[in-house]
């Protein structure tokens, strides 16, 4: 338990400049992700996942000492890289959760969500003589 507490305290100890840049980049990504959601206001639940995954990616980069913390240009580059990796991981996590939820609903005998029902397309749109 001390092992997890140590890592959690190091994650929480991230400086405010890094968190601000990560939040800004994740907000920028969330703005564009919003357009692809079935219900766009659900972005308020996706955004915290993106930020959490990005902060975790930044901590992993620091943990493995990928870059020296004393150079501003490398700090900014790796913070942007952490935001990108965290956004990709967050999108994958949310997508996996939604797919799992839909499969569980289908296995339980429920009907799929209204937007996910198969559409019946008629190929015969023109009127035909009888």
Q: How confident is the model at residue 107 (pLDDT cuts 50, 70, 90)?
A: confident
DSSP assignment letter at 118 = P
Scan for tokens 């990616």, then name that residue.
Answer: 57
Instruction: Give the least confident one: 29-43, 68-82, 94-108.
Output: 68-82
How far apart (Å, rounded) are the C-alpha atoms in residues 104 and 34? Answer: 25
The pLDDT value given to residue 91 = 93
**Structural contact between residues 22 and 86, judged by C-beta atoms closer than 8 angstroms:** yes
CA distance 89 to 57: 9
Q: What is the mean pLDDT of residues 108-123?
A: 58
**End-to-end CA gap in the chain:** 77
For the entire predicted model, the pTM comes to 0.74
Question: Which among 111, 90, 104 is positioned nearest to 30, based on CA atoms?
Answer: 90
Environment class of residue 89 by beta-carbon count within 10 Å: exposed (0-12), middle (13-18) or buried (19+)? middle
- The DSSP call for residue 113 is P
């Amino acid at each position: 338990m001390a092992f997890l507490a140590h890592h959690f305290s190091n994650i929480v100890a991230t400086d405010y400049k890094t968190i601000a840049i990560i939040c800004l980049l994740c907000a920028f990504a969330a703005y564009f992700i919003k357009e692809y959601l079935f219900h766009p206001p659900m972005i308020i639940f996706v955004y915290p996942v993106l930020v959490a995954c990005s902060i975790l990616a930044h901590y992993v980069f620091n943990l493995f000492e990928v870059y020296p913390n004393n150079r501003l240009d490398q700090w900014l580059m790796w913070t942007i890289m952490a935001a990108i990796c965290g956004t990709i991981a967050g999108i994958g996590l949310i997508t996996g959760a939604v797919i799992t939820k839909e499969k569980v609903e289908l296995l339980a005998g429920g009907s799929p969500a209204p937007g996910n029902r198969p559409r019946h397309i008629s190929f015969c749109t023109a009127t035909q003589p009888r």
